[in-house]
């Protein structure tokens, strides 16, 4: 397939210029990194870097493969687990207001919900939930219908209640006792969303919108709940399902054809991953969060207190996890981040420790299948791009 030509847009001091690079901004390498993602299986790529001099955007590939149209510059996309920092920040605002404590147990707010099969809500705290140290099983691993083509079509518009998702997790024994290890678990964030509702009397979506989205002016950030649509403009979201889903041989997954999965009910993601945003809004939130505009100093300090996460080393060597944030070492020290993968979209990002520079990457698939002969990567597909954006781009 003949690929779409690379495109660059630069906004410096409020002035936009399409097609050529500003004399003070070398986008050649950034564009090369975006183009390289096509060989790794990206249909299309949109990148936005927010620098002290202004915003820089590049894109590559197709937003719609059949029509051979680019990813819209203002594309809206599902951010998956990038929802988690929004939820964690909301919890920490409640902590700062004295309405909740990181030492509160799940049992205090949701009595009897986490019990049985060795699961004990009296021993799991809010900190454990946000830090992924609760030991609770990751509920999507109990939903094979999400990973099989024929099953996904049957459930794509179904509504899942958070209680159902938690019930899937507690049917299994915990992975480890609370606080003793780290393992990524969406279950903790579904519970955090339920606790936000119990504390405030409002849904977690209402609280995130009222406390973060609206005050920061994130006009293109949405909390869809059960609504299946992605607001326009957007790229087409593609998904390739493995023939045997979760049971597939990792060495021979037998990927299916790319399917359009742009529209589906994201309630199964809930507070763990149902939000929609843009590269501009995503950058704005990251910079505001690390810049101290969202949380009081004491709560931001808690959010950025990390534990080692060896399970993330294959993608981000040396990574550490805080409360809804990942610290990733890089060539200029390190950065804060939280990616997101959800059917049809892959989100990657990063913000420097001083909050001065950030990057958002959107790919319109999360099932990337590299082309024959493409370089084999020993890290996340966007690692070099993000490193360049935060350390080298002038």
What is the structure's pLDDT at 296?
Answer: 98
Q: Taking residues 163-192, what's their average pLDDT? A: 98
- Residues near 64 by beta carbon (within 8 Å), at least 6 away in sequence: 235, 236
What pLDDT sits at residue 127? Answer: 98
Residue 17 has pLDDT above 70, yes or no: no
The CA-CA-CA angle for residues 286, 288, 289, to 5°, reads 65
Distance of alpha carbon 108 from alpha carbon 117, whole angstroms: 19
Task: Judge whether residue 394 has pLDDT over 90.
Answer: no
Q: pLDDT category, 94, cuts 50, 70, 90? A: very high
Q: Which of 224-238, 249-263, 337-351 has the lowest mean pLDDT?
A: 249-263
* pLDDT over 80 at 138, yes or no: yes
Q: State the catalytic residues.
A: 81
User: Taking residues 51-56, what's their average pLDDT?
Assistant: 92
| Per-domain residue ranges of the chain | 77-340
The rounded distance, in Å, linking the Cα atoms of 20 and 58 is: 11
Residue 22 scores a pLDDT above 60: no
pLDDT band at 15 (very low <50, low <70, confident <90, very high): very low
Beta strands 115-116; 340-342: pairing state: unpaired
Confidence check: pLDDT of 335 > 80: yes
- Please tell me the CATH superfamily of domain 77-340, with its number: DD-peptidase/beta-lactamase superfamily (3.40.710.10)
pLDDT bucket at 249, cuts 50 / 70 / 90: confident
DSSP string, 156-218: TT----HHHHHHHHHTS--SSSTTS-----HHHHHHHHHHHHHHHSS-HHHHHIIIIITTTT-
| Of the candidates 203, 235, 208, 225, the residue with the CA atom closest to the CA atom of residue 62 | 235
User: What is residue 9's predicted lDDT score, i.e. its pLDDT?
Assistant: 56
Number of Cβ atoms within 10 Å of the Cβ of 349: 28
Mean pLDDT rounded to a whole number for the chain: 93
Percentage of the chain exceeding pLDDT 90? 88
Q: What is the pLDDT of residues 257-314, one digit of tens each?
A: 999 999 999 999 999 999 999 999 999 999 999 999 999 999 999 999 999 999 999 9
Please check the confidence at residue 12 and state whether its pLDDT lies above 80.
no
DSSP state of 136: -
For the segment 143-154, the average pLDDT, to the nearest whole number, is 94
SS (H, E, C) 245-280: HHHCECCECCECCCEECCCCCHHHCHHHCCCEECHH
For range 80-94, the mean pLDDT: 98
Distances (CA, A) of 225 to 13, 268, 269, 276, 364: 36, 9, 9, 10, 21
Beta pairing partners, 252: 249
């Amino acid at each position: 397939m003949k690929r779409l030509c690379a495109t660059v847009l630069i906004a410096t001091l409020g002035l936009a210029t399409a097609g050529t690079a500003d004399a003070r901004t070398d986008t050649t390498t950034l564009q090369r990194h975006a183009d390289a993602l096509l060989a790794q299986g990206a249909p299309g790529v949109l990148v936005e870097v927010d620098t002290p001099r202004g915003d820089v955007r590049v894109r590559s590939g197709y937003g719609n493969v059949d029509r051979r149209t680019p990813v819209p510059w203002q594309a809206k996309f599902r951010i998956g687990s990038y929802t988690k920092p929004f939820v964690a920040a909301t919890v920490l605002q409640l902590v700062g207001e004295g309405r909740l404590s990181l030492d509160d147990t799940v049992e205090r707010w949701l009595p009897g919900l986490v019990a049985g099969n060795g699961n004990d809500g009296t021993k799991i705290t809010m900190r454990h939930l946000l830090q992924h140290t609760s030991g609770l099983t990751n509920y999507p691993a109990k939903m094979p219908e999400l990973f099989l083509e024929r099953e996904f079509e049957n459930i794509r518009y179904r509504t899942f209640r958070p209680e159902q998702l938690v019930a899937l997790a507690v049917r299994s024994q915990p992975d480890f006792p609370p606080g003793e290890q780290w393992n990524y678990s969406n279950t903790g964030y579904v519970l955090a969303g339920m606790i936000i509702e119990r504390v405030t009397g409002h849904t977690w979506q209402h609280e995130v919108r009222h406390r973060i989205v609206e005050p920061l002016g994130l006009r293109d950030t949405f909390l869809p709940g059960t609504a299946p649509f992605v607001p326009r403009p957007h790229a087409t979201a593609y998904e390739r399902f493995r023939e045997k889903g979760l049971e597939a041989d990792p060495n021979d997954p037998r990927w299916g054809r790319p399917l359009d999965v742009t529209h589906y009910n994201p309630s199964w993601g809930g507070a763990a991953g149902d939000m929609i945003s843009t590269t501009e809004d995503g950058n704005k939130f990251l910079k505001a969060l690390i810049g101290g505009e969202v949380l009081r100093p004491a709560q931001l300090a808690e959010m950025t207190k990390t534990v080692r996460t060896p399970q993330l080393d294959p993608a981000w060597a040396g990574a550490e996890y805080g409360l809804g944030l990942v610290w990733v070492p890089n060539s200029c020290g390190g950065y804060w981040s939280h990616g997101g993968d959800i059917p049809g979209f892959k989100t990657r990002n990063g913000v420097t420790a001083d909050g001065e520079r950030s990057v958002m990457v959107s790919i319109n698939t999360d099932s990337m299948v590299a082309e024959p002969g493409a370089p084999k990567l020993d890290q996340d597909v966007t690692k070099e791009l993000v490193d360049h954006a935060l350390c080298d781009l002038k």
